[in-house]
Amino acid sequence: LSCIAFKRRYPAARVVAFEPDPALFAALRANVRSFGLRDVALHNQAVWTADARLPFWAEGAFSGRVAMPGDRAGLIEVPAVRLRDYLDRPVDLLKLDVEGAELSILADCADRLANVARLFVEYHAPADGPQRLH
C-alpha cells in the first residue's frame, strides 16, 4: 500500500520495493499492476546485511521476519540482498520495516546513510530488552 501512496503523491518517483514473503509479494505485484504504477521495481527478497539465503518466518497474514530460535511452523528460506549496496546514490526516502532487524541493517549501512535524505524506520525492540535505537 505504501507503493501506491508514494506513487500517487510523487508520480515521477522511482520506487524500489522489497518483500521476502512470497504470498505478500504476490499481493504487492498485483496491487502495483492493478493501479498501473510505472517505474516501480519489485524484488521478492529480504533486505539484510549481506547477499544470502535466510530462514524466514512467514506469519501467514500481513507480516513475517527473519526466523528466530524457537520458530517452528511457517519457516521458509528466502533470498536476501545487502541494502547497503542500494545506497550508493542519492535516495529521497528510505522506508525500513524489517520486523526486528533494523539495528543490524542500519549499522551495516551507516557509512552510506548520508545518501538518504529522509529515513523512516519502523523499529521493533525486543520485548525483553532495552530500546537500542538512538
The pTM is what? 0.86
Q: Which helix (H) or strand (E) holds 28?
A: helix 22-34
pLDDT per residue as tens digits for the range 19-41: 998 989 999 999 999 999 999 99
Cell readout for 97 is 520495516
Beta strands in 1-134 (DSSP E): 15-18, 40-43, 46-48, 52-58, 64-66, 75-82, 91-96, 116-121
* pLDDT recorded at residue 100: 75
pLDDT per residue as tens digits for the range 92-117: 999 998 877 889 999 999 999 999 99
In the chain, what is the straight-line distance between the N-terminal and C-terminal CA atoms, in Å?
Answer: 28
pLDDT per residue as tens digits for the range 47-102: 999 999 988 877 766 677 776 777 777 788 899 999 999 999 999 999 998 877 88
